[in-house]
């Protein structure tokens, strides 16, 4: 989890700031044309060329660059991988990573069978996934980008509304992919962190909000829509929690079951009242998934012995802010320069 928090900070400090600034500039000045010089100044592109008579100057430049890069493409990719992986591990593993990457830029025909066997062994040495990551299938969510994670870092499972069905829905062979993914990640591969990440303007959550109308959520209507049926079956608990909380004025803390029957956590949802009503539902739904994950018997021994941990993140699509649910602060806290040290400390202390 510490690595994910560091990844979010790298994303904040690079891509996010750039994207948000540009998004705001275009939104506030729709009449402003976006020029090649602007893109070069913002380091979005490396080259700007003057247009030619046939109108294909950019295409010709791209072709000439591609011809230049192509013969070295594999080497460039391997060098980047060696640097990325090398800075995250100890010296010995770093050397091993470098060796593997170096070996891969040598044409395969030069390898002996023994070399290939050694290569595979080394690759397995540094591929140790750190998290099973559940998030929404929304096309605006690119989890590996906003957590700055790479090959071998996470198992990612995506569906409409980032739902993990509660264990009581399943008997015998009637299972869905989410618990199977939990078993594959946490039992077979011994991963110690499960992360569930919701987001703003979630179309599935917007629909769930509409399903509070009993007619819209009727059995007949559910038969017409797999999505409505999926949400009514697996997100009703989130909706009921949200409605009960709404009736009491949206200020009371909510309580969620977590790692064991005895462990619960308290959550104040959007205490500064900065998000849309559907986003509040999305945050409650994200936390409800922590309880749903904890409902699986095959995870219980590890959860109860503090060997396996469940975390919640929430992504604000329009600002690029990513929130970590801090059980200490009892709320979603934006991961930024002010909070990151404290959050990392919390993760180290309770979830290492
Ligand atoms: Zn969504």
Question: For residues 274 and 102, what is the distance between their CA atoms, to the nearest angstrom?
Answer: 50
Give the full edge-to-edge strand order of the sheet including 193-199: 154-159, 131-136, 193-199, 309-315, 322-326, 331-334
User: For residues 285-305, b (16+ Cβ closer than 10 Å) or e, as one string?
Assistant: bbbbbbbbbbbbeebeebbee
201 is in an annotated binding site: no
* pLDDT for position 159: 97
Q: Kindly give the distance from the C-alpha atom of residue 230 to the centroid of ligand 1, in angstroms, as a whole number.
A: 13
Share of the chain above pLDDT 70, in %: 76
Query: Domains in the chain, ordered, with CATH?
Result: 1-33+127-351 (3.40.1050.10), 36-68 (no CATH), 73-121 (no CATH)
Number of other CB atoms surrounding residue 333 within 10 Å: 18
**Beta-ladder partners of 214:** none
How distant is the alpha carbon of residue 268 from its chain centre?
22
Q: Kindly give the distance from the C-alpha atom of residue 197 to the centroid of ligand 1, in angstroms, as a whole number.
A: 10
| C-beta of residue 314 within 8 angstroms of C-beta of residue 332 | yes
* pLDDT for position 22: 64
Q: Kindly give the distance from the C-alpha atom of residue 216 to the centroid of ligand 1, in angstroms, as a whole number.
A: 20
* pLDDT for position 61: 85
Q: Kindly give the distance from the C-alpha atom of residue 328 to the centroid of ligand 1, in angstroms, as a whole number.
A: 27
**Helix residue ranges, H only, 162-235:** 177-182, 203-210, 219-224, 226-234
Q: Kindly give the distance from the C-alpha atom of residue 325 to the centroid of ligand 1, in angstroms, as a whole number.
A: 18
From first to last of its 352 residues, the chain has per-residue pLDDT tens of 888 888 888 888 777 667 667 666 766 776 655 677 776 766 667 788 888 888 888 888 888 887 777 666 666 676 677 667 666 666 656 666 666 655 555 544 444 555 556 656 655 656 789 999 999 999 989 999 899 888 889 999 999 999 999 998 877 666 789 999 999 999 999 999 999 999 999 999 999 999 998 888 888 888 889 999 999 999 999 999 999 999 999 999 999 988 876 788 999 999 999 999 999 999 999 999 999 999 999 999 999 999 999 999 999 999 999 999 999 999 999 999 999 999 999 999 888 7
Residue whose pair of structure tokens reads 């994303």 in the numeric block: 11
* pLDDT for position 53: 86
| C-beta of residue 310 within 8 angstroms of C-beta of residue 186 | no
């Amino acid at each position: 989890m510490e690595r994910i928090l560091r990844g979010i900070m790298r994303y904040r400090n690079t891509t996010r700031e750039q994207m948000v600034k540009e998004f705001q500039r275009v939104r506030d000045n729709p009449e402003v044309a976006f020029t090649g010089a602007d893109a070069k100044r913002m380091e979005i592109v490396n080259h700007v060329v003057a247009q030619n008579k046939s109108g294909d100057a950019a295409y010709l430049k791209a072709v000439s660059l591609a011809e230049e890069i192509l013969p070295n493409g594999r080497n460039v990719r391997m060098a980047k991988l060696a640097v990325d992986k090398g800075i995250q591990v100890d010296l010995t593993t770093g050397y091993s990573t470098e060796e593997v990457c170096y070996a891969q830029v040598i044409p395969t025909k030069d390898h002996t069978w023994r070399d290939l066997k050694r290569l595979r062994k080394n690759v397995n040495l540094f591929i140790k996934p750190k998290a099973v990551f559940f998030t929404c299938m929304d096309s605006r969510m690119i989890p590996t980008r906003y957590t700055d994670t790479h090959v071998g870092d996470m198992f990612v499972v995506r569906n409409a509304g980032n739902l993990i069905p509660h264990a009581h829905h399943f008997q015998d062979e009637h299972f869905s992919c989410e618990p199977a993914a939990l078993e594959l990640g946490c039992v077979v591969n011994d991963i110690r962190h499960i992360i569930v990440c919701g987001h703003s303007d979630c179309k599935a959550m917007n629909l769930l909000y509409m399903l509070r109308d009993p007619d819209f959520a009727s059995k007949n209507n559910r038969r017409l829509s797999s999505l409505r049926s999926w949400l009514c079956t697996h997100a009703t608990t989130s909706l009921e929690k949200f409605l009960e909380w709404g009736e009491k004025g949206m200020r009371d803390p909510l309580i969620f079951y977590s790692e064991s029957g005895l462990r619960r956590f308290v959550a104040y949802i959007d205490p500064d009242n900065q998000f849309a009503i559907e986003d509040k539902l999305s945050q409650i739904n994200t936390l409800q998934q922590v309880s749903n994950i904890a409902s699986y018997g095959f995870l219980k021994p590890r959860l109860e012995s503090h060997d396996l941990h469940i975390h919640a993140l929430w992504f604000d699509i329009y600002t690029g802010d990513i929130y970590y649910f801090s059980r200490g602060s009892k709320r979603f806290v934006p991961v930024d320069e002010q909070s990151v040290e404290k959050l990392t400390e919390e993760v180290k202390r309770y979830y290492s």
